[in-house]
Chain A
Amino acid sequence: MFQSREELEKKLAEHHYLIDRNVATVVYLAVKLQKPLLVEGPAGVGKTELAKALAAATGSRLIRLQCYEGLDEAKALYEWNYQKQLLCLQLKQNQNKSWHEAKDDIFTREFLLRRPILDALESTEPVVLLIDEVDKSDEEFESFLLEILSDYQITIPELGTIKAKSVPLTVLTSNNFRDFGDALKRRCVHLYLDYPTFERELEIIKLKVPGINQLLSQQLVSFVQLLRKQNIKKPPSIAETIDWARSLLTLSVSRIDADIVQSTLSILLKYQSDIDQILPRIPSLLPED
């Protein structure tokens, strides 16, 4: 897939995803060791984006499984289409078949509904399997993932074991909402994505918001970086910095001042209590010249 870390860095950059050296190393390791990649970090630092960029960079299909409480194997792995099975049985009622024949008839791939994970394993083309927000799923579901993530196979009692045709590049993301099982974590290579450094965020802004001037982008990034250090409920994410930059560009602002920040602060902060806390302190938070 990738021959070296440098190649990976370059390919991702071509798809507008900039990563640091250590992040590239971890991703490269996951590819090289054929282990799933578990990405943790605060909301909005580009965890899901990473998987998308990987899919784009390798030219693979992205299969996404969004986790939520109550997600079970029937929705994630496979399910027998039993309404269809019932119909089939009713049609064959008069043919006087033995139990074995009937069983072999209805437990075939025709009646198997492929859910994202089985889909990823059975795919003949290379795929990136994104299991998003694993921490939102239940403990029970984690156990289902174990077999898949360590051996890349699923055992279906009626059909046997289905092995992956090619090992999918698996990316799991977690918001650290709850602590999930060690067994699952141990099978993965870990990546902690944090908010980007000033320089990195500046590059991202330049890449994603073409046409923004140097001074403005520097000012706005340093303001956002400072905001993240404040004790607020939801620090602004990269996506919000980009949104803000776009809005400022649309408003044809060339440099930020207290007024403009005041009127656009709601783009960066999503909680009223955060806004109330920051609003009076804007002048002292503004970057100096």
Chain B
Amino acid sequence: MLFLEEKILEFARLLRKGGVNVSVTQVIAAIQAAAAVGLAKEDFYTALLSTLIVDQMDQPLFDKLFRLYFFSLESSVFEKHTDHNEQETDGATAALQLVDSIEGTGMGRGAGATPYLLLVKAVRETNYPLLRKLGKMGIESLGDLEQGAVAEIDKLVDQAKVAIGWYQAVNTLEKIRVQEKVSEIRYCKWLDCLSFLEKYMESLLEDLLVRKFGSMILEEIALAANIREKEFFRLDQLEIQEIRKQITKMARKLASRYARRYRRAKHGKIDLRRTIKNAMINGGTPIRLKYRRRVISKPELVLLCDVSGSVAVFSEFMLQLVYTIQNRFSHIRSFLFVNTVDEVTEYFTNNSIEEALDKAFAKARYAMSPFSDYGRVFRQFEKEYLPTFSSQSTLIILGDARNNYRHDERDSLQRIGEQVRKILWFNPQPQEEWNTEDSIIGIYAPYCRQVFECRNLKQLEEVTEAIL
């Protein structure tokens, strides 16, 4: 059993690398659970999943690492390698025969072996063995892989896709869909096929790498998959979706904490007048005490968001977070800028947050060129909007302070700082890159109460908890 315990411990360590918080209690529970259900693959998986993973968001990573660690790595707990492979070969031979037969009969358009037509055919028939075969072809086309390949898995999968004519096939399928009026049921199945193939190729590639280079690679894969600590600008579309969900949950957590404090605050000073008045009901005995209500000050918040290139995603997250908990503030005003600034507060008043963000980004005039110009923006901001802020407002600036070597206009920022209660600066750029190249955060920092590094979800959570 010791062997298994070690394996589970090491696996837990790997999960931690991937940003999943696994406590010792959980590992103990996992070991007990594994002992209770036995080593059948499926049960073992369920046992570990139900004890080690507390957040649904971590499940994809768990699945991936579980597969790679317990099946791909040579030193496997299971003796499953062989029959796993057998199954695969069975499927493959079937597919091979299929390919043969297709090549034999032709596709009607006279292009038997062209992969993209095969792909179209496989999808239309929802033929999974053939899809697998194609996936393998794609990955094989990549040739010999270097150890560094692990950093560019996405890119390599894309290359493999091109090799089997993925984009042509998708195009053709779309055309067929329109021409033949394909029903949505069938179209959904097609999409399932395509996403299956994509995942399959990715897992094939990871498998290959892990088998070739061993556990080192596994750690790198874990690290790369950690979206909590992944820089905002490196997130892909799927991860952005995931983080949006996380932010909504995070915001509710913050909001409920606030609600509790507010309730708590009611239990402060005793309101003698109301207590005595109430005691009359009980013949003068004050059975229930009445407390004086306390009003909690709600700060006024002003968000000034850089939305140029790599910073845009971060600004979007922050806006989403702040507007989800807007009852926490008496008033929120938001501004977008690249090299000119525009107020977008109104979009958030009567729209859902997603709609508001779409509209704000589509309609506001915040850029006359794609290069951010902080100096110009501060000057304009001071002139046009500063007089309308109360001295109680908190100004939060979101941006990387990369000024494209233009005038910094620090005097403007200083005057802004004197007018508002405080300025906080959230910088999504990694701290080690601050004040290099055209970053001038060091020049602006003295006028801010605090400058935070805020490059990933984890830091965003920490920072918002600290300021609220």
Contacts and interface: CB of A to CB of B under 8 A. Distances in A.
B281 to A, nearest CB: 13
A69 interface: yes
Contact of A33 (B32, B45, B55, B259): B32
B183 A185 contact: no
A177 interface: yes
B330 interface: no
A139 B257 contact: yes
Given A70-B263, A189-B51, A287-B185, A26 B46 contact: yes
B29 A138 contact: no
B184 A33 contact: no
Contact of A186 (B25, B45, B285): B25
A25 B53 CA distance: 15
Contacts of A133: none
A274 to B, nearest CB: 15
Contacts of A179: 55, 246, 249-250, 252-253
B36 A191 contact: no
Interface residues of A, number: 41
A189 B33 contact: yes
A202 to B, nearest CB: 16
Contacts of B43: 5, 21-22, 25
B260 A284 contact: no
Contacts of B55: 179, 185
Given A138-B259, A140-B260, A177 B252 contact: yes
B317 to A, nearest CB: 16
A97 interface: no
A29 B50 contact: yes
A28 B37 contact: yes
Nearest to B182: A284
B49 interface: yes
B37 A40 contact: no
A55 B36 CA distance: 22
A26, A69, A140, most chain B CB atoms within 10 A: A26
Nearest to A5: B37
A170 to B, nearest CB: 15
B241 interface: no
Interface residues of B, number: 39
Contacts of B32: 33
A21, A25, A187, A229, most chain B CB atoms within 10 A: A25
B259 A176 contact: no
A79 to B, nearest CB: 14
Contacts of B33: 29, 33, 189
A224 to B, nearest CB: 12
A52 interface: no
Contact of A284 (B23, B42, B184): B184
A226 B256 contact: no
B46 A226 contact: no
Contact of A69 (B37, B185, B256): B256
B319 to A, nearest CB: 20
A216 interface: no
B188 A226 contact: yes
A100 interface: no
B376 to A, nearest CB: 40
A35 B37 contact: no
A186 B29 CA distance: 10
A32 interface: yes
A83 interface: yes
Nearest to A137: B256
A5 B43 CA distance: 10
A22 B46 contact: yes
Interface in B178-205: 183-186, 188
Contacts of B185: 222, 226, 284-288
A198 interface: no
A190 B51 contact: yes
B36 A32 contact: yes
Contacts of A26: 46, 50
Contacts of B186: 288
Nearest to A222: B185
Interface string A17-46: 000011001101100110100001000000
A33 B256 contact: no
A192 interface: yes
The 9 closest A-B pairs by CB, nearest first: A178-B252, A185-B54, A179-B249, A25-B46, A26-B50, A22-B46, A284-B184, A190-B50, A179-B253
Given A86-B287, A139-B253, A139-B256, 19 more contacts: A5-B43, A22-B46, A25-B47, A25-B50, A29-B46, A33-B29, A33-B33, A138-B256, A179-B252, A179-B253, A182-B54, A185-B54, A186-B54, A188-B54, A190-B50, A190-B53, A226-B184, A285-B184, A286-B185
26 contacts: A5-B37, A21-B42, A22-B45, A25-B46, A26-B46, A26-B50, A28-B36, A29-B46, A29-B50, A29-B51, A33-B32, A40-B56, A69-B259, A86-B287, A138-B259, A139-B257, A176-B249, A178-B253, A179-B249, A179-B253, A186-B25, A189-B51, A190-B53, A222-B185, A285-B183, A285-B185
